[in-house]
Amino acid sequence: MTDDTTSPDRARLVEFLETHQDEIERAWAETPVFASRNQDAAREEAAALLAGLQEVVRDSAEEDSLAEGFSTARTVLGTLAARSAGGPSGSNLPDVSALKEPLLRLWAEQDVSREVAHYGAMVLSTALSTLRNVLLEMELSAGADTILAQQEQLAELSTPVVKMWDGILAIPLIGTLDSMRSQAATESLLEEIAKQQAKVAILDITGVTAVDTLVAQHLLKTAMAARLMGAECIISGIRPQIAQTMVQLGIDLGEVATRSSLADAFAYSLRRIGYSVVRTDESR
């Protein structure tokens, strides 16, 4: 819609929304959108939505989901979405398209020419369609935030730091290492090194599905960071297949100590901090 706010047809439409405000609010309050509310609360929420609709129609902004009028309606839409138990396509969104029929019915009862009636119906339908798009955008944004938060929680849960002994920490890495998980692992390990004044940190990759150049770089960066914190880093769990892959890729772990298993790495760590493991007679 490109009409300016001074066009006679739009002025007639704005007048309709203002003079028939009470009727529109009452009709909207009876729709399923507000079905879970008492009449007074439903009328209050319907009034807030109508105020936003009046503003976008007045500003010729019925196609702009970022318009001020739609921003005004977002608070009510958020409340409706949080409360709704059903909606279009089986989602949790309230079906705001239900507001269209009573609004267009009231508009059709107005004594205007056919051209003005058609124009007004188009503007109102567009405004309500954009209102529904605003609601969908809000749901997508909320969904993206939820997914991001869940990813961060999973990254934290999938990179636990385990205290093996006084001065010895281990972090078992499982699955595929990406930048986010590697960063989470490094941060968790460094925090525990500082907290516990650890002298040795074991990176166990027994559960890592594959090691490529990128994964190796992540491991080296973590080992270097641990060293800067005053802890020696050991990489354990290097299986024969992974060892062959690393040789083929020309991956050099430099001065980082490696062991084939977590048990070997733990025994090595004990020796590094001055302990030795001996078998007693009772254990035979």
Reported as a single tens digit per residue, the pLDDT across 203-212 is 999 988 888 8
For 162-283, give the CATH class: alpha beta
What mean pLDDT value characterizes the chain?
Answer: 82
Q: What's this model's pTM, rounded to 2 decimal places?
A: 0.49
Structural domain boundaries in the chain = 8-150, 162-283
Are 73 and 134 in contact by the 8 Å Cβ rule? The answer is: yes
Residue 18 CA to residue 120 CA, distance in Å, equals 14
Question: Largest Cα–Cα distance in the chain?
Answer: 105
pLDDT digits (tens, 9 = 90+) for 116-164: 999 999 999 999 898 888 887 777 765 555 556 555 555 554 568 899 9
Residue 260 CA to residue 279 CA, distance in Å, equals 22
8-150 belongs to CATH 1.10.490? yes
